[in-house]
């Protein structure tokens, strides 16, 4: 099976995070057809294992692709349009998986490399706690010396034939914020008999967004106060997001959020609950791997764009915390449109570039 056929099958039958049962079976069937050993991981994921014919098998390179889709109804008029109503590969994970499959195909047929190559078809990137955390919890590389973990993500801001690399801090951590203010609700005209939960929450929101800095983004996107023109509700809630590029900054903001809640309680006589759903850590690229990848890409005739840090998040950050890692962007052309939309349609010409880049990078590291 060619990578483009592999991709189109996944696109036609997308599945949501941690529900990738048919996707998993399809990947297993394809690996079996190629004679590639594998094991199941993180429930609905698969790890392919290929041993080279040379060197110590304990030294390893890990290639990673995510396989889950999004709850979006596809609007593209293509032959391989999603047949699963309300579910679509709108973030390019089908492309990522197809690139990985193509690399595994080629290197399994050659096996002329040192060490061991792992290929992770990872579930649940789009949903906390992130499939990467579940993969690592199983310690699948115990006993191996992991030289690098390599992943990619499609990018419509880059044309086919281009890749984007950001040495060092690349993508932000992401946390979900939820606030609840509770007090005495009642008639809005009887100020002495109520606690102004609405003003208290407004104050909390202002103090929260004041925590924005060059290293941290804090935004509140939803506030619910189910009162009326003359009714102050007893409960007001708010939800937001927090992104940082630095764990120290992350902890600093956590501390300030709890501190602000205490100030609001004292000032308005209300109760403030702060719930932080900790999401993915920062994606931090190994600097040496980043520049080696630039050289490898240029040797392959692939144009390299050096990228700036992004405030979007990726559970690939769990790998970067544990091992030397590289996460780069693969150009799929501006005509692809925006990811996470119903009309996202990457140029499949990027598959050949993606396979070539990831294959060469894996061999470069394994054969050092």
pLDDT at residue 305, as a whole number: 98
Cα separation, 358 vs 187, in Å, equals 64
pLDDT digits (tens, 9 = 90+) for 68-91: 999 999 999 999 999 999 999 999
pLDDT digits (tens, 9 = 90+) for 271-323: 999 999 999 999 999 999 999 999 999 999 999 999 999 999 999 999 999 99
In this structure, how many other beta carbons lie within 10 angstroms of the beta carbon of residue 89?
Answer: 29
Mean of all residue pLDDT scores within the chain? 97
Residue 56 — very low, low, confident or very high, per pLDDT cuts 50/70/90? confident
- In the chain, which residue ranges form alpha helices assigned H by DSSP? 3-12, 21-34, 93-110, 131-137, 197-209, 247-268, 287-299, 317-322, 350-366
pLDDT digits (tens, 9 = 90+) for 104-143: 999 999 999 999 999 999 999 999 999 999 999 999 999 9
Mapping DSSP to helix (H, G, I), strand (E, B) and coil, where does residue 303 land?
A: strand
Angle between helices 21-34 and 3-12 (to 10 degrees): 160
Residue 55: pLDDT over 90: no
95 with 7: CB under 8 angstroms? Answer: yes
pLDDT digits (tens, 9 = 90+) for 6-23: 999 999 999 999 999 999
Residue 214 — very low, low, confident or very high, per pLDDT cuts 50/70/90? confident
Q: Where, residue-wise, is CATH 3.30.70.360 in the chain?
A: 173-278
Q: Where, residue-wise, is CATH 3.40.630.10 in the chain?
A: 3-171+282-366
Nearest Cα to Cα of residue 346 among 63, 100, 80: 80
Cα separation, 92 vs 345, in Å, equals 8
CATH architecture of 173-278: 2-Layer Sandwich (3.30)
Cα separation, 318 vs 300, in Å, equals 29
Topology of domain 3-171+282-366, per CATH? Answer: Aminopeptidase (3.40.630)
H/E stretch holding 62 reads strand 59-66
Question: Whole-prediction pTM value?
Answer: 0.92
Residue 247 — very low, low, confident or very high, per pLDDT cuts 50/70/90? confident
Stretch 234-252: mean pLDDT, rounded? 94
């Amino acid at each position: 099976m060619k990578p483009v056929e592999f991709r189109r099958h996944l696109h036609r039958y997308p599945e949501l995070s941690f529900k990738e049962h048919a996707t998993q079976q399809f990947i297993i069937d394809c690996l079996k057809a190629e004679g590639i050993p594998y094991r199941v991981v993180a429930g609905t994921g698969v790890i392919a294992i290929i041993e080279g014919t040379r060197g110590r098998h304990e030294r390893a390179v890990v290639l990673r692709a995510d396989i889950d889709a999004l709850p979006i109804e596809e609007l593209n008029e293509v032959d391989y349009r999603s047949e699963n109503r309300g579910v679509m590969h709108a973030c390019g994970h089908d492309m990522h998986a197809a690139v990985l499959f193509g690399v595994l195909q080629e290197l399994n047929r050659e096996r002329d490399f040192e060490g061991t190559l792992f290929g992770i078809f990872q579930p649940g990137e789009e949903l906390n706690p992130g499939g990467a955390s579940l993969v690592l919890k199983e310690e699948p590389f115990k006993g191996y010396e992991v030289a690098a973990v390599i992943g990619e993500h499609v990018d419509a801001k880059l044309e086919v034939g281009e890749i984007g690399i950001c040495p060092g801090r690349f993508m932000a951590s992401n946390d979900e914020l939820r606030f609840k203010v509770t007090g005495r609700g009642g008639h809005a005209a009887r100020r002495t008999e109520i606690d102004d939960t609405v003003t208290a929450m407004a104050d909390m929101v202002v103090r929260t967004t004041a925590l924005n800095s060059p290293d941290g983004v804090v935004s509140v996107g939803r506030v619910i106060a189910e009162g009326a023109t003359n009714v102050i509700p007893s409960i007001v809630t708010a939800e937001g997001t927090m992104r940082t590029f630095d764990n120290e900054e992350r902890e600093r903001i956590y501390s300030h959020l709890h501190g602000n809640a205490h100030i609001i309680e004292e000032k308005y006589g209300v109760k403030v609950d702060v719930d932080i759903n900790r999401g993915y850590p920062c994606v931090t690229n190994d600097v040496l791997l980043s520049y080696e990848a630039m050289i490898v890409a240029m040797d392959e005739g692939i144009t390299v764009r050096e990228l700036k840090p992004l405030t979007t998040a990726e559970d690939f950050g769990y790998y970067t915390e544990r091992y030397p890692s590289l996460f780069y962007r693969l150009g799929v052309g501006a005509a692809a449109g925006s990811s996470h939309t119903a009309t996202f349609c990457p140029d499949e010409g990027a598959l050949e570039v993606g396979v070539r880049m990831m294959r060469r990078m894996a061999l470069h590291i394994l054969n050092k």
